[in-house]
Chain A
Amino acid sequence: MEALDPVATGLVVVVVLLVVGGVAGFVVRGRGGRDGSTRQAATAPAPEREAPAPEREVEDGPAPAEAEEPAEAEEAAPPAEPAPLTPMERFRARLGRSRAGLGSGLLALFRRGLDEAAFEELEERLISADVGVEATMEIIEGLRERVRAEGVTDPEQALALLKEILRLELGVADRTLARREEGPTTWLITGVNGTGKTTSIGKLAARHARDGETVVLAAADTFRAAAIEQLSSWGERAGARVVKQAEGADPAAVAYDGWQAASAADADLLLVDTAGRLQSKRALMEELSKVKRVLEKGAGHTDEVLLVLDATTGQNGISQAQAFQEAVDVSGVILTKLDGTARGGIVIAIQRQLGIPVKLVGLGETVDDLADFDVDAFVEALFADVAQDVELGGEDPADREP
Chain B
Amino acid sequence: MFDALSDRLEAVLDRLKGRGTLSESDVDEVLREIRLALLEADVNFKVVKTFVARVRERAIGAEVSEALNPGQQVVKIVNEELTGVLGDQSAPLELGSASPAVIMLAGLQGSGKTTAAGKLAAHLKKKGRTPLLVAADLQRPAAVDQLKVLGARVDVPVHAPEPGGDPDADPVAVAAGALKEATRVGAGVVIVDTAGRTNVDDAMMEQATAIKRAVDPVETLFVIDAMIGQEAVTVAKAFQEAVDFTGVILSKLDGDARGGAALSVAEVTGRPIKFASTGERLDEFEAFHPDRMASRILGMGDVLTLIEKAEETYTAEQTEELSDKLLGEGTFTLEDFLEQMQQIKRMGPLQNLMGMMPGLGKELKDVEVDESDLKPVEAIIQSMTPEERRRPEILNGKRKKRIARGSGRSAQEINELLRNFEQMRQMMEQMGGAAAGRGGKLAQAKQMRQMQKAGAGGGMDMDALMSQLGGSGAGGAGGPALPGGAGAGAGPGGGAAPQRNKRVPPRKKKKKKGKR
**A residues at B contact (CB < 8 Å):** 1-2, 4-33, 36, 48, 51, 54-56, 59-60, 63-64, 66, 68-69, 71-78, 124, 127-130, 132-133, 192-196, 199, 202, 223-227, 229-230, 232-234, 247, 278-283, 310, 312-317, 319-320, 337, 339-342, 346, 365, 389
Contacts and interface: CB of A to CB of B under 8 A. Distances in A.
Contact of B357 (A17, A56, A69, A128): A17
Interface in B53-96: none
Interface stretch (B13-21, B185-193, B287-295, B347-355): B347-355
Nearest to B144: A76
A16 B347 contact: yes
Given A278-B256, A389-B234, 15 more contacts: A9-B311, A20-B344, A22-B472, A28-B364, A28-B367, A32-B476, A32-B477, A60-B153, A63-B149, A73-B145, A76-B138, A128-B44, A202-B141, A229-B142, A283-B370
B47 to A, nearest CB: 11
Query: For A199, A202, A365, which residue has the most chain B Cβ atoms within 10 angstroms?
Result: A365
Contact of B479 (A6, A32, A280): A32
A133 B369 CA distance: 30
Interface stretch (B23-31, B316-324, B395-403): B316-324
A316 B227 contact: yes
Nearest to B229: A314
Interface string B307-347: 10011101110111011001100001000010011001001
A19 B344 contact: yes
Given A29-B474, A341-B231, A12 B469 contact: no
Query: For A29, A48, A127, A130, which residue has the most chain B Cβ atoms within 10 angstroms?
Result: A29
B124 interface: no
A319 B366 CA distance: 12
A75 B314 CA distance: 47
A20 B357 contact: yes
B141 A78 contact: yes
B146 A4 contact: no
A203 to B, nearest CB: 12
A12 B306 contact: no
B376 A72 contact: no
A192 B255 contact: yes
Contacts of A56: 280
Contact of A194 (B111, B142, B322, B462): B111
A21 B368 contact: no
B54 to A, nearest CB: 19
A193 B252 contact: yes
B225 A278 contact: no
Interface of B: 36, 39-42, 44-45, 108-112, 118, 138-150, 152-153, 161, 163-167, 169, 198-201, 225, 227-232, 234-235, 252, 254-258, 260-261, 280-282, 303, 306-307, 310-312, 314-316, 318-320, 322-323, 326-327, 332, 337, 340-341, 344, 347, 349-351, 353-354, 357, 360, 364, 367-377, 413, 416-417, 420-421, 423-424, 427-428, 431-432, 435, 441, 444-445, 447-449, 451-452, 455, 462, 465-466, 469-470, 472-480, 482, 512, 515
B476 A29 contact: yes
Contacts of B473: 21-22, 24-26, 28-29
Contacts, number: 378
A18 B424 contact: yes
B307 A9 contact: yes
Nearest to B153: A63
Contacts of A32: 476-480
Given A9-B311, A23-B341, A312-B231, A74 B167 contact: yes
Contacts of B320: 5, 8
Contacts of B111: 194
22 contacts: A9-B448, A10-B444, A10-B451, A12-B314, A13-B306, A14-B428, A17-B455, A18-B465, A26-B377, A27-B367, A48-B372, A75-B166, A75-B169, A225-B147, A225-B153, A226-B148, A229-B142, A229-B145, A310-B227, A314-B42, A339-B201, A341-B200
A317 B310 CA distance: 34
A47 B57 CA distance: 57
B357 A193 contact: no
A11 B476 contact: no
B268 to A, nearest CB: 13
Q: Which 4 A-B pairs have the closest CB atoms?
A: A25-B473, A314-B229, A194-B110, A10-B448
A339 B198 contact: yes
A128 B45 contact: yes
A117 B260 CA distance: 26
A157 B61 CA distance: 46
A25 B474 contact: yes
Contact of B369 (A18, A27, A124, A230): A27
Given A5-B323, A71-B164, A282 B230 contact: no
B421 A22 contact: yes
Contact of A19 (B312, B341, B368): B341
Query: For A6, A16, A227, which residue has the most chain B Cβ atoms within 10 angstroms?
Result: A16
